[in-house]
Every structure is written in C-alpha cells, then in structure tokens.
Chains A and B, each alone.
Chain A
C-alpha cells in the first residue's frame, strides 16, 4: 500500500509558512527580546543600558510585594477556576434537563460571553461602587463594610466575582454540549442500575464529561492567569495603590507605567516558564489519565 505524502519538501513547507511566520513574528521574536532585556537595565528612552546579569531576577526574589502578588495570583486562579467551572457545570446540568423554552434559557446564559473583559470590569465598578453599588449594599447587609479600592479583601472579592461571572458562559457552552453528546442509551442503562441522581452523576456522567472538564480546566487556568487583565485593570481604576493584582498585571505596571523594562522583562520570562510547565503538564496528563471514547 502506498502511503499518502508529498513529492517534494517545499510544498508542505510553503503551506506551513504563514503559520510559522506568525508565530515567529508575534512570539519567538518578542520572546527573544524579552529574554535579552531581562539581563539589562535600560534607560526608558533607549539611550543607556547596563548589563546586570541575573540581578533583575534576584531582586524579584527578595521583593515582598512580588511574593505577595505571586501568592494572590495562585489563590485568585484557584478561586476563579473553581467557581467558574462549578457554577457553569451546575447551570449546564439544570439547563440540560429543561425541556420547555430550553433555547431561551441557553441563549440567556450564553449572552454574557459577548461582553469584553474591560466592559465586565466597568459593570463591576457600578455594582461595587462605594456609595451606590447594589452589591456593596448586599455585602453590607451581612455586616461586611465592603469598600472597593480601599479594603484589600473587598477588592479581591470583586475581582473574583466579575472574572467568574464573565467566564461562566464559555464553560456553560462546553459543558452543555458535552452533556448532550453522552449517548441516551448509556444514561438509560444507568437509570436502571442506580436510582440516585447524584450517584448517577458522579459514577457515569462526570467520568464521561472528564475530557471536556479537563480541557476547560486548562482553559480556565489560562484565563485566570492572563485574560482577567481587563477586569483587574478596570476595577483598579487606574491606581494600583494597595489593591491586589496578578503577576501579569505587575508585568504591565512595571514595564508600561513604571518604565522599568529590565525588571518587567524578567517577570515576563518567569511567566513564560510557568506557561511552559503548564503546557507540559497538560500534554502529559492528557495522554495518561484522560480517556476519550
């Protein structure tokens, strides 16, 4: 049997070229620059620069604020990922059961997906306004003197709530289609074996949803780490102050507000390594543990 293939090497290269070029121009090139400038201290206007070796990295390790930001980033990612997945899964299961008006429910639940992160952030500002925000008043009912931009925990809570709210629709869409692709026969067989809906969910439905859930887990971690930038920026209202922030936001602050290009580059190199680890983990785990039927 003849294997299908190309006669020359040039055609596949030519076909791959656009993609490779885009990656080279928009990723490898800037990444190389970031790596290089992370070893220098540079005048913002580009006049002088001094080679400082690993100083940009070591000064980060000795910086309490960097540690605080790193801890917050981990906590924030865990909370955002957990709540956006859990709430979306719950909504998807409920929506899956609705028969009458199902489309309307689903559309309404997906709607938020169309909102850009900064817009979500501005809606957050209205909801959490210090004097008029309805959610501020809600928290105050429980005796929590909720003050956005003043109290660290309050600002962190607002950031989590807005980021979760923004992410639920994406997860919802995936979970719902995952649920709907579970064969009817499997569900009916499970119904005979186990009368408990909760039991059926954890023993049958959830394992079958695992590929979707794992994919979403990775997507959501990336979202919490990087794509929440707009939400955080909006809720910060232009002044970092004593507000919580993520590592990505600090890269931006030091580089584009503080004009410390070397320090900012070192931080982005650290983030690049983090993403690399996450990717390796994703592929490893995907191969071993998750079975696609």
Chain B
C-alpha cells in the first residue's frame, strides 16, 4: 500500500516536472501584509495563469524595513530575489548602490517591452528615477497622504471637509469638538507632516535639487513654515482638536475607525482596507489640506508606498520573465484591479482612464482623491527627494516629533536636532558611496 502510494506520488511528480519544464521561475519579495498581501498573491496567480512560459512566486518578508534588510542580506550572499519591493525611504539606498539593480527602463527596453515615461501619471514618474529622469524602480504601490473623514460626524457638526489648515483651525475643528469629536489624528508625521508638507507647499526639502543631483546633500527641514505648522499642531493638541497616539500607524487609525476621531490623515492606499472593515459610519476623503499663508496654489504631493526593483545578477531568461511580469503589472486591467482592491493609485494614465470609464469614481469618489492630488500642479520641488540613510532620518523625525508632542522638548530645539543629526547621516552616507 505504502509502496503503491509512493510510486503514484513519484509518477505525479515526474509528470508535473515535465509539464513545467519550460517555465522560467522568478521570485518576488514584498512587504504587503493582510488584505494587500492577498491582492498581491492574486496578481501573481493571474500572471501565472495568463501564460505558460513564466512563473512568479511572491514571498512576504515582513515590514518595509524588514524586506529591505532581507533583500540586502540576500544580495550580499548572492541569493537575491528577481524582484524586490523597496519603499520610498529606502530609495536612495537601493538606487545609490549602482550595480545592485537593473534600471527598470533598461530592463524593459532590452526585452522588447515598450516603455514611455509619459504613460505614467505625473506624480509617480520621477520619484524612483535618477537625476537624468531614467526610471530605476517600477512604482508599484503608489499612494499619497489624503484626509479621510467621518461623513456623519461632519454632518452632525454642520461643516464640510477643510481645504486649508486655516479653515480646519477656525471652522472645522472647533465645530467637531463641540459635536463631541476629536477633530484629527494622523498616522505618519515624517511622511505626512514633513515630506508632503514640503511638496504640498512646493518648498525645497534638501539641497542638490532635493538630493537628486549629488551626494553632498543637506536637509532643509529646519524652516519657518514647517515650524509654524508644528506650533499649530501642538496648539491643536492642547485645545483638544488633535490627538497623537504614538508613532505606530494603526494606533492612530484605530480611533478614527472607532468613531472617536472625526478626520484622519492616512494613505490613499488605506482605502481598500477601510472599505473592507465595514465601519459603523460613512466615510469619504479629500485632498491633503495646505496653509494659505504659505501658498495660494497647493502643488502635487510625493508618492509614498514602494517600487519594484529588478535585482541584478540574474540570467537573461529570468530577466526576460521579470520584464514580462512588469508588462503584465502595468497593463491597465491589472492596475485597475490593484487600484480597486487596495486604493493605491493606478500608475498609468491608461489605467486611470479605464477606472474612470468603468464608473469607479462615481461609485467611490474617495478613490479618486489620491490620483487627483498626484496630478495637481507640479513645482520645482514636487518630483521627489533622494536622501541616504533616510530610514534613520525618519526615525529621528519620529523621535523628535514624539518628544515635541509629549512636551519633552520644544519645537526650535527639536528641528535643530533633526537638522544636525540628519546632516551627519547624509555626510556618512556620502562616504559609504565613495
């Protein structure tokens, strides 16, 4: 009996082996957990089912930071995956290491896949590009910070979602407070209140063209506009209009989901998750507010999220498979599916058109907010930023902002500390590239 089972299994195995003989297998390391991870798996399955020559296997490697570290360790051991997802803060590290990746633009051209950077929507084109505008990483899950709001709460307070921080301060927030709500929370101070504060107001974030044009870059975070913003934020907190629940993303989203906080600054990529949670109230979203005192015309924001990088050191066959996967991934249908399921923006104009035609935005107006914001007026400082050791720089910001909000330090000292420590790290990163 055992013997029979064994030989049957062996025969089955042999059969499978023959059937899959021609397939080129590639791996994809990503950081998409939960509902996002399921969608990633579905995309991989669809790609595998769409043809017989290639097979991609997605592997979840933990958080963005963990995925990057795992990828680096694997690369040093010669065991890198074909495709690695790297988040915005890790862009300088992976793009700086010339030879670690194949620029996606070259990969596609070498394997006969059409590529035109202008097919991509404005906001995502250059974030993962080099200083000459060549796309290095394929923007995969592109999101941008937007303002979610509890429709019932705003109706109860008799206000509309704020366009500017001035409106929030004088009208929206006090009304929400009177209606028994904490007006606002946010989930990522460095991303929403620093990086995108700069892009929304078209302020330079770093020297050297936001860091794209050289490695002797200095951060420009210690400026009056952002310090005034943080002064306002601490005032709001003191007045009970804003609350900070720690550095964790979920800790700040939870009070909004529970209906305690009326408005929450999160990612456009949070949309799918919120929809699935079946919240006890109706929610919608609007664009990231700006200070009228700083700019009359708000500009487009940076994309957050992550990009897919094709790792070097792989055979031509495997690179071909990676290129084909990217072709599948950027197809309007795949992008629309991804956009619908998660809320991450469609990265190409064509995919955006498909979504529009299908009436997606009539059904879910909130889903279009991120796309619109990324296509808003561009400025000199809105293309992105490129700074080394940026994961640590974000951690420094998080630390100092936390200390400001718990009264351990004052705004002036905190921004001086961030500037000093960030510039030290940037100088150190410059030396690693030597």
**A60, chain B: closest CB distance, angstroms:** 11
Would you call B403 an interface residue if the criterion is a C-beta within 8 Å of the partner chain's C-beta atoms?
yes
Q: Is B406's CB under 8 angstroms from A242's CB?
A: yes
Q: Which residues of chain A have C-beta atoms less than 8 A from B63's C-beta?
A: 238
Would you call B395 an interface residue if the criterion is a C-beta within 8 Å of the partner chain's C-beta atoms?
yes
Q: Which residues of chain B have C-beta atoms less than 8 A from A63's C-beta?
A: 421
Once the chains are docked, how many angstroms separate the CA of A44 from the CA of B96? 10
Interface of B is mostly: helix
Q: Is B406's CB under 8 angstroms from A239's CB?
A: no
**B286, chain A: closest CB distance, angstroms:** 27
Once the chains are docked, how many angstroms separate the CA of A42 from the CA of B425? 13
Q: Is A257's CB under 8 angstroms from B399's CB?
A: no
Name the interface size band of chain A: 35 or more
Once the chains are docked, how many angstroms separate the CA of A151 from the CA of B244? 11
Would you call A271 an interface residue if the criterion is a C-beta within 8 Å of the partner chain's C-beta atoms?
no
Q: Is B76's CB under 8 angstroms from A241's CB?
A: no
Would you call B408 an interface residue if the criterion is a C-beta within 8 Å of the partner chain's C-beta atoms?
yes
Q: Considering residues B94, B97, B391, B402, which has the most beta carbons from chain A within 10 angstroms of its beta carbon? A: B402
Q: Which residues of chain A have C-beta atoms less than 8 A from B402's C-beta?
A: 150, 241-243
Would you call B248 an interface residue if the criterion is a C-beta within 8 Å of the partner chain's C-beta atoms?
yes
Q: Is B406's CB under 8 angstroms from A130's CB?
A: no
Query: Which residue of A has the minimal Cβ distance to B97?
Result: A45
Query: Which residue of A has the minimal Cβ distance to B392?
Result: A258
Name the interface size band of chain B: 35 or more
With A50-B431, A149-B251 as known contacts, state yes or no: A242 contacts B75, CB within 8 Å: no
Would you call B428 an interface residue if the criterion is a C-beta within 8 Å of the partner chain's C-beta atoms?
yes
Once the chains are docked, how many angstroms separate the CA of A44 from the CA of B425? 14
With A45-B72, A150-B406 as known contacts, state yes or no: A258 contacts B395, CB within 8 Å: yes
Contact residues, B406-434 vs A (CB, 8 A): 406, 408, 417, 421, 424-425, 428, 431-434
Q: Which residues of chain A have C-beta atoms less than 8 A from B432's C-beta?
A: 41-44, 48-50, 262
Query: Which residue of B has the minimal Cβ distance to A155?
Result: B246
Q: Which residues of chain A have C-beta atoms less than 8 A from B245's C-beta?
A: 130, 147, 149-150
Q: Which residues of chain A have C-beta atoms less than 8 A from B99's C-beta?
A: 45, 47
Q: Which residues of chain B have C-beta atoms less than 8 A from A48's C-beta?
A: 432-434
Q: Which residues of chain A have C-beta atoms less than 8 A from B417's C-beta?
A: 64
Q: Is A44's CB under 8 angstroms from B93's CB?
A: yes
**A249, chain B: closest CB distance, angstroms:** 12
Q: Is B428's CB under 8 angstroms from A263's CB?
A: yes
**A279, chain B: closest CB distance, angstroms:** 30
Q: Is A149's CB under 8 angstroms from B248's CB?
A: yes
Q: Is A259's CB under 8 angstroms from B97's CB?
A: no
**A214, chain B: closest CB distance, angstroms:** 38
Q: Is B431's CB under 8 angstroms from A52's CB?
A: yes
Q: Which residues of chain A have C-beta atoms less than 8 A from B254's C-beta?
A: 131
Q: Which residues of chain A have C-beta atoms less than 8 A from B244's C-beta?
A: 150
**A127, chain B: closest CB distance, angstroms:** 16
Once the chains are docked, how many angstroms separate the CA of A151 from the CA of B65? 24
Q: Is B399's CB under 8 angstroms from A240's CB?
A: yes
Q: Which residues of chain B have C-beta atoms less than 8 A from A259's C-beta?
A: 68-69, 72, 93, 389, 391
Would you call A260 an interface residue if the criterion is a C-beta within 8 Å of the partner chain's C-beta atoms?
yes
Q: Is A260's CB under 8 angstroms from B389's CB?
A: yes
Once the chains are docked, how many angstroms separate the CA of A125 from the CA of B181? 26
Would you call A103 an interface residue if the criterion is a C-beta within 8 Å of the partner chain's C-beta atoms?
no
Would you call A152 an interface residue if the criterion is a C-beta within 8 Å of the partner chain's C-beta atoms?
yes
Would you call A253 an interface residue if the criterion is a C-beta within 8 Å of the partner chain's C-beta atoms?
yes
Would you call B356 an interface residue if the criterion is a C-beta within 8 Å of the partner chain's C-beta atoms?
no
Once the chains are docked, how many angstroms separate the CA of A258 from the CA of B97? 15
Would you call B179 an interface residue if the criterion is a C-beta within 8 Å of the partner chain's C-beta atoms?
no
Would you call B98 an interface residue if the criterion is a C-beta within 8 Å of the partner chain's C-beta atoms?
yes
Once the chains are docked, how many angstroms separate the CA of A44 from the CA of B431? 12
Q: Which residues of chain B have C-beta atoms less than 8 A from A253's C-beta?
A: 395
Q: Which residues of chain A have C-beta atoms less than 8 A from B76's C-beta?
A: 45-46
Would you call A180 an interface residue if the criterion is a C-beta within 8 Å of the partner chain's C-beta atoms?
no
Q: Which residues of chain A have C-beta atoms less than 8 A from B96's C-beta?
A: 43
With A46-B76, A150-B245, A258-B391 as known contacts, state yes or no: A65 contacts B399, CB within 8 Å: yes
Query: Which residue of B has the minimal Cβ distance to A255?
Result: B69
Query: Which residue of A has the minimal Cβ distance to B98?
Result: A47
Query: Which residue of B has the minimal Cβ distance to A153?
Result: B406
Q: Which residues of chain A have C-beta atoms less than 8 A from B408's C-beta?
A: 152, 242
Would you call A198 an interface residue if the criterion is a C-beta within 8 Å of the partner chain's C-beta atoms?
no
Would you call A148 an interface residue if the criterion is a C-beta within 8 Å of the partner chain's C-beta atoms?
yes
With A43-B97, A64-B417, A258-B395 as known contacts, state yes or no: A241 contacts B247, CB within 8 Å: yes
Contact surface of A with B, Cβ cutoff 8 Å: 41-50, 52, 59, 63-65, 130-131, 147-152, 237-243, 253-254, 256-260, 262-263
10 nearest A-B pairs in the assembled complex, by CB-CB distance? A242-B402, A241-B247, A149-B246, A45-B97, A258-B392, A239-B247, A41-B431, A43-B432, A50-B431, A50-B434
